[in-house]
Amino acid sequence: MTYDEEVFPEPWKFRPARWLQENSKDLDGFLYPFSRGTRSCIGQSLSLAEQRVAISQMVRRFSPRKGMQFREIVGKEYVTYVMEDKLPVMLEEAR
């Protein structure tokens, strides 16, 4: 995370709502949840493992709804991948 006051007013304050503002798309280039290299997040492996468990449980319990259109995902790769638009997902209970 950057502490540049031109990008983030009051950079040392914990303000997660700054990412929910109307201009939050302009901040995507400054979003580095895990980073890379020697200064990468020590919780990255745990987070990725938890995400895999959560996704596998969703896949086990739900199925894509019939008639859903699959399309190419458009995004930008910074240090992490940022989607440029919403990804509609419709699920129903698996049988």
**Cβ atoms of residues 10 and 2 within 8 Å:** no
CA dihedral 1, 42, 20, 26 (to 10 degrees): 40
d(CA 7, CA 51): 30
State yes or no: 43 annotated in a binding site: no
Which residues fall in the annotated binding site for heme?
41
Annotated binding-site residues read 41
